[in-house]
Amino acid sequence: MACIELFRAEKLPVLQNRVFFTQATALACTKGDIVLVQDTETGLVFNSAFDPKLLGYDVDYQNEQACSGIFQKHLEDITAILQPYMQGLSLIEVGCGKGYFLEHLKRSGYQVVGIDPAYEGPNPDVIKARFEPSLGISAEGVVLRHVLEHVPDPVDFLADIARANRGKGLIYIEVPCLNWIFRHHAWFDIYYEHVNYFRLDDFYRMFGTVHVAGHVFGGQYLYVVADLATLRQPNVGGDAAVNFPRDFLAGLHRFANLPKAEKRRAIWGGASKGVIFAIYMRRAGIDVDIVIDINPAKQGTFLADTGLQVSSPTDALQSLRPGDDIFIMNSNYLDEIVTQSGDRFNYLTVDRNEF
């Protein structure tokens, strides 16, 4: 396998969405390196330094975004995409997380079974396990939301799903968009548990039949509905080279040069982006005082590697002064955050290159 190296990062937490209940365990979290490369034969981009043995998903993995009304609207948008293709079909959601979207599908009339080792709820239709073909379940459609970026050998993983599904059926895939990451210089969106980074063209090379494809969530995610029977090994066709931005870390350098006024600095968003953002900021010598998250499961816990404690909006906003800096990890939530915080602070949307 011939690869072209694109980017390196050292000693990042292997599970940035694992919650830690003490600062000591957060500081001592398992870390790994990132060597982002592109395979010149398949065109796929992945972390060649990834070691799956370092990862283990369980109930302490918290990545539920549905606490936000903005994200709930996103899930409504996904349901609308699914409707013309999967309404009335039996479904399997591989990697259903805490089950929020699965429950949403059930309320929308779908017959759906979920699979996820991190599931915590009482739903008897969720299998608390990693997906394996030996589970012996199949359906007319498969939903795979934000899973494929986490698994080594994504084409082999899709082939396992196809075999388990008797080589047929539709599949909906949703993953972060690599081109959006590059376009927005989103260095805080490159992290260890995402071993793969996809562009839309990758899926047209993976599947002979793609029924619909596009971008959602402000362009941050891409999606396809494809025919599992047409899965194939991708080969580079045309110009599939990745144009990695030379100034990828420019935003971090701008943050380091912000005026050092007597302000407190907060991060709003204690999930993946916030964890990596906090690490790079600390390494650049930039202090962060507070981390805010609306997910109750994260509040009171500590971020991997930096050991920063996560606060609820109510608690955090009481300790901030008007005009203090709030770094917003995802501009999709800007209006929601401004409203919730009373429009009293200096809001810095880190993915808009506004500095």
Encode pLDDT of 181-219 as tens digits: 999 999 999 999 999 999 999 999 999 999 999 999 999
CA nearest neighbour of 100 among 282, 279, 297: 297
Over pLDDT 90: what percentage of the chain? 73
| Confidence band for 239, pLDDT divided at 50, 70 and 90 | low
Per-residue pLDDT, 238: 55
CB 326 within 8 A of CB 307: no
pLDDT at residue 61 in the model: 73
Mean pLDDT of 255-279: 87
Q: Cα–chain-centroid distance for residue 185?
A: 16
Burial of 259 (0-12, 13-18, 19+ CB in 10 A): exposed
Residue 233 burial (CB count, 10 A): 11
Show the domains of the chain with their CATH numbers. Answer: 1-236 (3.40.50.150), 250-349 (3.40.50.720)
